[in-house]
């Protein structure tokens, strides 16, 4: 009986999770840096570059750059996106980004980079009609100004850096990976993720399907935690 109750509870939770959150191709796992990531020495570490993750960042201070870093094997196809929150003042904002690592041709960037690495640069000045992207989990809208897939030539550490043209300090996001990977434990982070993402996109907080889905998913697990005596009324 306990095994049957466990399978039923977990099954119901999984079904509600899939209905509410799964089955979409429009959801990144958000990353909100709590420190400075404007130099390669303090780049944000991305542990699973195949997993779809988005780093929200506001360029500020003297070093107007966002750095990420990850380790991958030769032949890995890294998927990268550069986006902007869909805010009127950013309609013509066109940052650039670069992928750096061993095995690429040498490049010349106007700031300090790790020694001995080549790279590829991706500019966006020619993008007149960026793709509109709706992020399902947080109910926010962005412009995607560039997306690329690059096959890595060697195994090792790689860096991604984004920067504005000129000295225009504003905000942008970098996304890496394609795999949509979430777990039930992420439900407890969803409210915080939503609030921070909506603040970044400069839209008001919203109470929408997140709370009903949270309850629908958690209630079967609470049912699982009840003792058989309580369920039987004894």
| pLDDT score of 117 | 97
| pLDDT score of 23 | 41
| pLDDT score of 233 | 52
Compute the residue count for the chain.
234
What's the CA angle centered on 19, arms 131 and 183, to 5 degrees? 85
Q: pLDDT tens for residues 160-179?
A: 999 998 777 899 999 999 98
| pLDDT score of 30 | 86
Domains of the chain: 25-181 (2.60.120.380)
Low pLDDT (below 70) residues in the chain = 1-27, 181-191, 206-234
SS3 230: helix
Residues 6+ apart with CB under 8 A from 15: none
């Amino acid at each position: 009986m306990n095994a049957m109750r466990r399978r039923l509870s977990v099954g119901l939770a999984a079904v509600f999770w899939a209905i509410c959150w799964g089955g979409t191709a429009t959801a990144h796992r958000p990353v909100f840096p709590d420190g400075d990531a404007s130099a390669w020495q303090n780049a944000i570490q991305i542990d699973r570059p195949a997993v779809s993750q988005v780093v929200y960042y506001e360029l500020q201070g003297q070093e107007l750059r966002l750095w990420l870093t990850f380790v991958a094997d030769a032949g890995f196809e890294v998927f990268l996106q550069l986006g902007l929150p869909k805010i009127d003042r950013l309609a013509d904002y066109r940052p650039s980004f670069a992928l750096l690592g061993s095995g690429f041709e040498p490049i010349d960037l106007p700031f300090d980079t790790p020694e001995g690495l080549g790279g590829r640069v991706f500019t966006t000045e020619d993008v007149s009609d960026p793709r509109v992207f709706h992020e399902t989990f947080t109910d926010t809208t962005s412009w995607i100004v560039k997306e690329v897939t690059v096959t890595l030539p060697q195994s090792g550490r790689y860096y991604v850096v984004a920067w504005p043209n000129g000295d225009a300090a504003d905000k942008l996001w970098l996304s890496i990976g394609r795999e949509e990977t979430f777990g039930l434990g992420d439900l407890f982070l969803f409210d915080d993720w939503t609030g921070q993402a909506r603040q970044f996109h400069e839209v008001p907080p919203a109470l929408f399907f997140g709370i009903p889905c949270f309850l629908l998913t958690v209630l079967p697990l609470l049912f699982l935690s009840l003792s058989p005596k309580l369920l039987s009324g004894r």
